[in-house]
Structure 1
Amino acid sequence: MESKPWLDIYPKEIPATLEYSSEPVQQYLEDAAKRFPEKIAIHFMGKEHTYKKLYEDALNFASYLQETLGIEKDDRIAIMLPNTPQAVISYFGILMAGGIVVQTNPLYTERELEYQMKDSGAKAIITLDILYPRVSKVIPQTELQHIIVTAIKDYLPFPKNLVYPFIQKKQYGIVVKVKHEGNTHLLTEIVKGSPKKLIKYSINPEEDIALLQYTGGTTGSPKGVMLTHKNLLSNTTMSEAWLYKAKPGEESMLGIVPFFHVYGMTVCMILSIKMACKMILLPKFDALTTLKTIQKQRPTLFPGAPTIYIGLLNHPDMKKYDLSSIHSCISGSAPLPIEVQQKFEEVTGGKLVEGYGLSEASPVTHSNFLWDVERVKGSIGVPYPDTDAMILSMDNGEPMPVGEIGEIVVKGPQIMKGYWNRPEETKEVLHDGWLYTGDLGYMDEQGYFYVVDRKKDMIIAGGYNIYPREIEEVLYEHPDVLEAVAAGIPDPYRGETVKAYIVLKEGSAVTSDEMNEYARKYLAAYKAPRLYEFRSELPKTAVGKILRRMLIEEEKQKIEEESIKHA
């Protein structure tokens, strides 16, 4: 393991070690505005914004935070927005003001939002007008003092900006009118006029926190991952080095992966600013809108998640659209089925590879090579530059031989500072700079890593260790399967038994018996699902990761209800 065998297969264009900026993250925007002031920074539903304008708006926002709201260094400010120009302005404006960004999912319920605001101690939040009533209700229970409000229409071109409120009312059933007064502030008023003076706080990138990124909460209460400026700078620089054929100032990035998710934030938003890309933003994923946008805007870079690529490939009108502008896609957030990878590459002519990471690593630690190296199926790739990785035994914590399964641990400048106000939980996952990921996997002789599953997702049925990902790969190869997830559900005899939840492609009809016969052709009898459930959709996070835990909880609830009924 210590020899880092993966370095022997690195293309000559990717250095084993990189130089990192000693400036804070917000310097990327200032640099882009100086080098490419008139270049388009953002395209949003027909309206475009230059790097100069984006920088000026962020500067005005930062000044307002300091002068009017009294924000000081290390104060936390929450962003509760979809992918919009306002999300980018807010993010960089908060950092310019010396604050710490708290990314918040716009889909959060009042309870989830209240928990995160209390935990982070955020003093202000920027959100959409339609979310204003929800946010207002949690203010009395939190330290929030100010709500900054914006609307989708604020950054739309004419006449879309006039029409959008009617569409919004039809879609959501409400129209919210907010005034710029008291503790409520309108972003349109904030960014007016010329850039204002700003107090520039001294930032130590190695120590100062730029972001609190909350984990998904699928394994307990969400935790605030403390990511420093250095963490984000290093991971962005690594990602740029990986995309060595991409040209700064010339690329365009399709921004669908939510920026409130760490993957979208680093690999799409921050990387776009560093490389002076044009960001083509979509506030939510809709397959037809995405296909039309790709054909019209011609993006070259398309970071995404498997569910996004699957959605596009299975749209009935997909063949009517030209997707050939796309040359590079790194898939994250969930395992990428091999069939999806191959089909998407056939359609675009570009490269789609699987990467790996987690919030605690800013997020990327591994990726497959896009070019010049022969592809390896089923692998998450090799570690990024300046990133080390090992497989450790789950029994004694010792390094495992090549090909043997254990826990993946990683080390590098992108690894978090720790969990916000949770020293004990930090100690559980950080040891001498190594992050214990909780993922099970192995490494081959070349240095390629493979994830077999989450430690917590491993199914133990009848004494056998079963990895859901292996089952899912088989299910995805069935021609009628659109989405699939395997889970271990309680079983009185085997401890757990394997159940598959399947969404079929439109117009398909497959029975449980047919699926069972198919699965047993490719899986050992103890691995094959014993139960099948067909659904119209599967529960997912905002970034498209299927919530296996939610399905298991549903099963436990059913068992509990049955036992009460028969008691």
Structure 2
Amino acid sequence: MKIKERTLTELLNSAVKRFRNEISLQFENESWTYKEAQEISEKLASSLFEQGLEKGDRLSIMLPNCAQYVFSVFGVVRLGGIVVQTNPMYVERELEYQLNDTEAEFMICHDSVYERVKRVQPQTSLKKIIVVQFTEKRNIKLHENDMFFDDFINTYHSQAPHIKINPKEDIALLQYTGGTTGRSKGVMLTHQNFVNQTELVNEFLLKEFKNDETANRVVISFLPLFHIFGLASVTMTGYLFGYKQIILPRFETETVLHVIKKEKPMFFFGVPTMFISMLHFPNVETYGLEHIKVFFCGSSPLPLETYTKFEKLMGKNSYLSDGYGLSEMTSGAISNPHSKMKIGSVGVPLPLTEAKVVVETDNGLEEAPFKTNGEIIVRGPQLMKGYWNNPEETEVALKNGWLHTGDIGYMDEDGYFYIVDRKKDMIIAGGYNIYPREIEEVIYQIPQVKEAIVIGIPDEYRGETVKAYITLKENKSIKEEEVITFCRKNLAAYKVPRLIEFRDYLPKSSVGKLLKRELREQELKRLKNK
């Protein structure tokens, strides 16, 4: 398999040539053909160029799922600009950090977060804010120099000039992910990283359905576009495959099932909580899930029990593929082939992608024997360029062209990989990656707190739930609700601990290091004995 070098703009242009008047995006009551999506992106690029956005400049997108998100990505990269993926759930502290880390001067945001953005703007480099509204009614008043999206794209006077872009070297997007320091860091993904990822997903999962006339070329896009899984594996892959993307702002079980019943989509990309939620929905078997050709589950392994139950809802020729990916790999790295699915495994490496399990020995890192736990390392054409302005973390993660994932697993004799633990202590709750260190740093700002440990504990629905263990300073007191309220003010909602446990002391090693693993083992034992 050989992948041609090209920019994301060339990916879009190629899609327009092949699928010109077919529906590309559908959002609420509107739809756009591939050609119309290209035209809006071009208008946006021209307007941004006239406002001074140049190659290498950063523009933050802080939107929920919507068609404008896709137009914005293509508009920015058309100029050689760099998209900054900004979670619309970020509170001011998180937002200010990311904007300062990227020195973004432009932002496209939703009206619901506009005032939040304005409050942090004086502490950042932001100069121009473009606001998206989903209704024609202008229910907020913008500050001077800011504009509504629809007004802004009509300010252009002429088409933006051609910008020379090196697909393999020039950064298209910064995807923020957690770090060992507790500070979020920007994964630098090039144009070619995205092109490679779309080609690999297409080759591995979708190619055989290209000429299938028995299914609708439709996908429901509800995975967050600000997350690499949604943007790269679902949306960008669509511009290679040529399916219609029905965009939903979020996953709501009943809404999604009604869309499935009406549209009979060809593919379904989701995370374990979504599969579990559908399983428990009344009369789920009446919504036509058997028409979907491929169900793809990412973010975290799908429980065996869930797979077994969900399989009964699928068609005879349908299959469910579990996979493994990271932001650093532009989403996908390993997946189960439909020809030989292994339940419990995340599969085999995608085409052109390599993976192995390594262990520390007296001679350094060596490849582990079959079924022996070690750290999973991966490499491939979708591997990131590095971390934005962070050579130290880049050096830790990338060694001799391999990404050291920090995830613990093993490989069987057939080359299938299994995830057993996370070296990084990362929590995956409801499909979101959560880094305990960041939550701990917030809890430590509470004056009464002496020590804190945050871990993820098993949760039947969300995968994991965030729990904080806290010891208090002598003669100090605080209520559980007060801790949660403080966290809500300083963390995005999905990061806020749902459980708080006060203790007289927390487990420590002989050198005084707080031991998360011991608490996790206690929780697992407690759940087992329930």
Q: 1:194 to 1:133 in 2, by over 3 A?
A: closer
1:233 equivalent in structure 2: 195
Which position in structure 2 is the counterpart of 1:388? 354
Q: Is the 8 A contact 2:169 2:190 kept in 1?
A: yes
Check conservation: 1:355, 1:368, Cα contact below 8 A. yes
Cα distance between partner residues in 2 of 1:360 and 1:545: 24
Distance 1:340 1:415 in 2: 31
Question: Closer, same or farther in 2 for the Cα pair 1:193/1:320, shift >3 Å?
Answer: farther
How many residues are aligned here?
450
| Pair 1:237–1:559, CA change in 2 (3 A) | farther
User: Which residue of structure 2 lines up, in the alignment, with residue 72 of structure 1?
Assistant: 54
**Per-residue deviation at 1:30?**
1.4
Give 1:248 deviation, angstroms. 7.3
1:273 to 2:239 alignment = yes
Instruction: Please name the residue that 1:482 is paired with.
Output: none
Instruction: Give the drift of 1:21.
Output: 2.4
Kindly provide the CA deviation profile for residues 383-420 of structure 1, in whole angstroms up to 9, marking residues without a partner as x: 01111111110454111111111000011111111100
- Asked if the contact 1:338/1:378 (under 8 Å) is kept, the reply is yes
Corresponding position of 1:337 = 303
AA at the equivalent of 1:244: K
Cα distance change of structure 1 residues 113 and 378 upon mapping to structure 2, 3 Å threshold: same
- How far apart are residue 558 of structure 1 and its match? 4.9
**Partners of 2:100 and 2:505 in 1: CA distance:** 33
More deviation in 181-190 or 234-243? 181-190
| 2:29 aligned residue | 46
Name which of 137, 157, 164 aligns with 1:202. Answer: 164
2:18 is the alignment partner of 1:35: yes
Q: How does 1:362-441 map to 2 (within 5 A)?
A: 362-370=330-338, 373-395=339-361, 396-441=364-409
Inter-CA distance 425–559: structure 2 relative to 1 (3 Å threshold): farther
Select 1:246's aligned residue among 209, 222, 225.
Answer: 209
Q: Which moved more, 1:352-361 or 1:184-193?
A: 184-193
Tell me the residue number matched to 1:59.
42
- 2: CA distance between counterparts of 1:340 and 1:368? 16
Q: Which 5+ residue runs of structure 2 have no aligned equivalent?
A: 437-452, 463-486, 507-530
What's the offset of the Cα at 1:329? Answer: 1.8
Residue 147 and residue 318 in structure 1: after superposition, are their counterparts in 2 closer, same or farther (change >3 A)? same
Distance 1:197 1:307 in 2: 44
Query: How far 1:128 moved relative to its partner?
Result: 0.8
Using structure 2 for the length normalisation, give the TM-score: 0.79
Residues 194 and 293 from structure 1, CA distance in 2 versus in 1: closer, same or farther, beyond 3 angstroms? farther
The answer for the alignment partner of 2:415 in structure 1 is 447
Report if aligned partners of 1:287, 1:312 keep a CA contact under 8 Å in 2: yes
Q: Residues of 2 paired with 1:359 and 1:453: CA distance?
A: 18
Q: TM-score, normalised by structure 1?
A: 0.74
Q: Write out aligned runs for 1:11-410 (5 A).
A: 18-67=1-50, 69-153=51-135, 176-179=139-142, 182-192=144-154, 196-216=158-178, 220-242=182-204, 243-247=206-210, 251-349=217-315, 350-370=318-338, 373-395=339-361, 396-410=364-378
Following superposition, the deviation at residue 33 of structure 1 comes to 1.7
- Please give the alpha-carbon distance, in whole angstroms, between the structure 2 residues aligned to 1:255 and 1:267: 10
- If each structure's strand is expressed as a fraction of its own residues, which one has the higher value? 2
Amino acid at match of 1:316: P
* CA deviations over 1:173-200 (Å, ceiling 9, x no partner): xx84235x74202111133499941122
- Paired AA for residue 151 in structure 1: Q
RMSD: 3.1
In 2, distance between residues paired with 1:434 and 1:327?
Answer: 34
Uncovered stretches (5+) of structure 1, i.e. residues with no partner: 1-17, 155-164, 166-174, 459-467, 473-484, 488-495, 506-538, 562-567
Between the aligned residues of both structures, percent identity stands at 41
Alpha-carbon distance, 1:551 to partner: 6.8
Residue 344 of structure 1: how far off its partner (Å):
2.4
Greater shift in the superposed pair: 125-134 or 250-259: 250-259
How much has 1:235 moved relative to structure 2?
A: 1.2
Structure 1 residues 558 and 148, CA gap change in structure 2 (3 angstroms) = farther
Structure 1's consecutive aligned runs of 4 or more residues displaced over 3 angstroms after TM superposition are: 191-196, 216-219, 498-505, 544-547, 549-552, 557-561
Q: Distance in 2 between matches of 1:107 and 1:153?
A: 21
Q: 1:110·1:138 contact (CA, 8 Å) conserved in 2?
A: yes
2-side partners of 1:191 and 1:109: how far apart?
28
